[in-house]
Each structure stands twice: as C-alpha cells, then as structure tokens.
Amino acid sequence: MSIKVGIPRSLFYYQMYPLWQTFFEELGAEVVVSENTSKKILDDGVRICVDEACLPVKLFHGHVISLKDRVDYLFIPRMTSISKGEYICPKVGGLPDMIRSSIKGLPEIIDVEINLRKSGSSELESALDIGSYVCKDGRRIKRAYIKALDKFNEYKADVERGFIPGDDINRKRNIYVVKNSELLNIAIIGHPYNLYDSYVNMNLISKLRGDGINIITHEMVSEEIINSYADKLNKKVFWNFGRKALGSVRHFVERNDIKGIIFVVSFGCGIDAFIGDLAERIVRRNSSIPFMFISLDEHSGEAGLDTRLEAFTDMIRWRSKNESNFSAHG
C-alpha cells in the first residue's frame, strides 16, 4: 500500500501543486488533497485558529482538519524564501508550528524549510529532504524533482497564457485567450490563494467574466516583465509577492489596454495593507485607470461584493463612452 501524503488545498497549493503532486507521485506516494473550500472548512479553521491570523491562515487550518485523519503525512513545508533575496510572509514560514500548537491528533508533518536566502541552501537540497520522508533512494528523489520541475514550468506557462487555476488545478480547459476586442480588460492583483479559491472570493473571477470582462492577473505577466518594472521602483521590495504585485501594477499602468485594476486583499494581512497602498499610489499618480480594493474576510457578504463589482464595471463602461465626464476615483 502506498504512503498517503496530504496536501491542504490552501495557500501555496495554488502556486505549487503541480510541482508537489508530480514529485510525490514519482516517488510512489499517493497524494490526497483536501476538498474545495466550504463553509464547514472555513468554520473549522476560524474556530481553531488564533483570532489574529489572516483569513488564508485560518482557512489553512480548516483544510488540515479535513485531511488529517486520512493521510500518513501532512505536507506543510516551512516556506521562508522561494526566490533569491526575498522573503515569504512569516505566517507561512511559521505554519508547521501554528498547526502543531492548534490542532491535536496530527499525522507526521513533512516540515522541511525552504529558504533560498540561506547560504549554501538550494531547491534541490530541500527536495532531497522532503523526498526522504517517503523514499530512501537519493537518485530517485533527484529524478522525481527534475520531472516535477518540468511539470511546474509547464503549469506556469499555462497560467501566463491565461489559465485560471480554480478548483481543479489540473484542468486546462480553463485557458482563456482574449481575441474579442469588445471585452473590457481588468487586471486583478492578489495572492493566488485569494484569486483562485472561488469560495473565499465569492466567485469573483467568474462573476466578472460573466459580465464580459477579460481578467488579466499579475500571474499572467512574465517574470521578465515584472522584474523589469520592479527594478524601476524606488526601493527593492523584499517580499516575493510585493515585487510581483508592484512590478505588475507598474506594467499595467503603462499598457493602454487595461481599463480597471482590482487589488484583492485579505483582512488582517500586513503585507497586503502595505503593498496595496503602494499599488494604489502608483496607479493614481501615473494613470487615470480606475482602481478598487476588495477586502476578503470570513464575514464578507456576497451582496456587497456584487454591488461593488457592478458599480465598478458600469463606471468603466460609462467612462469608455464618455471619458471626460467620469472620475476614475469616485
């Protein structure tokens, strides 16, 4: 019987799942993912997690609860840094400790630090450590890692081409290539776990698409473009998400086909509060593109979101017909 490795459908799942799934499966493990987010998963997470945590971290707790009794290992890497010179949010780095202290009856956690800022540390070393939980053959782990990287690069290329990961991350029918000049382009910036979890964001993306909007996320902008714009910022941003968000915002304000920008933030997220404010200033100072924040928390109501989206898209449509009479800033 194969070893079961549980992966919570939360946080970095939306960025890394194709890499993690291929890696563990190549090592002969069975990968079990928690179900799509539901009211029960969210309620369980909110009940057990510390009040001060942000929504995504609370939700992660709920996904762990839904998985823990069905697997031999839980994969919760200690993600400190996944890119040279940059950090991930400390709440993600401390997740294995938070989970251990909040939830009882856990299986063993695959708790390996991924810290590319540490001297001498590499992705391959982390992969060898992670793989050693389910396989003792170092060469096989290396081969699995190389295969997983290929899958991961394919996935990233799909996302750049317009694939919205959504609930089924392996499904490619979702690729949405814009050909219709009637559609309005709206850029959406936010953590992938907020943008692609349709329960948490109350179907934000499908609502906008249903209204004839073409969605361009910051993940659809290539690393080269993001970096070229991030390099022009007054100061280097040392958060991985911050660089991507601000680099893409600068890029969006210079494109002439973006009609609106939405920044999705998690209530209680310090990084979002800081980066969101900088993003808004970049947009306001350098363009007249309408800009809106959508803040998500466990109390967010769908009717309020619908009203705001409708008002935002109506205003953009009116502006495109009668540009000079409508303010971008309300």
CA of residue 155 relative to chain centroid, distance: 14
One of 92, 188, 258, 305 touching ligand SF4 (CB under 6 A): 92
9 part of the interface to ligand SF4, by CB under 6 A: no
Smallest gap from Cβ 173 to ligand SF4, in A, equals 29
16 part of the interface to ligand SF4, by CB under 6 A: no
Nearest residue to 326 via CA among 293, 258, 208, 313: 313
Region binding ligand SF4 by CB under 6 A among candidate stretches 39-47, 89-97, 199-207, 210-218: 89-97
93 part of the interface to ligand SF4, by CB under 6 A: no
One of 8, 56, 77, 93 touching ligand SF4 (CB under 6 A): 56
3-state secondary structure 221-258: CCHHHHHHHHCCCCCCCCEHHHHHHHHHHHHHHHCCCC
Dihedral angle sign, alpha carbons of residues 123, 241, 75, 143: negative
296 contacts: CB under 8 Å, gap ≥ 6: 55, 194, 200, 201, 264, 265, 266, 267
Region binding ligand SF4 by CB under 6 A among candidate stretches 145-153, 157-165, 222-230, 265-273: 265-273
Judge whether 207 and 309 are in contact, CB under 8 Å: yes
* Number of Cβ within a 10 Å radius of residue 175: 12
One of 7, 46, 57, 221 touching ligand SF4 (CB under 6 A): 57
59 part of the interface to ligand SF4, by CB under 6 A: no
Buried b (16+ CB within 10 A) or exposed e, 297-329: eeeeeeeebeeebeebbebbeebeeeeeebebe
Amino acid identity at 38 = S
One of 240, 266, 287, 313 touching ligand SF4 (CB under 6 A): 266
Question: By CB under 6 A, what part of segment 173-212 binds ligand SF4?
Answer: 191
272 part of the interface to ligand SF4, by CB under 6 A: yes
- For tokens 């959504």, the residue is 166
- E strands present in 113-161: 113-115
Site size toward ligand SF4 (CB under 6 A) is: 11
Our CB check for ligand SF4 shows the closer of 219 and 272 to be 272
269 part of the interface to ligand SF4, by CB under 6 A: yes
Judge whether 9 and 63 are in contact, CB under 8 Å: yes
Our CB check for ligand SF4 shows the closer of 85 and 330 to be 85
One of 271, 275, 296, 305 touching ligand SF4 (CB under 6 A): 271
Our CB check for ligand SF4 shows the closer of 266 and 313 to be 266
Smallest gap from Cβ 271 to ligand SF4, in A, equals 4
Binding footprint of ligand SF4 on the chain (CB under 6 A): 54, 56-57, 89, 91-92, 191, 266, 269, 271-272
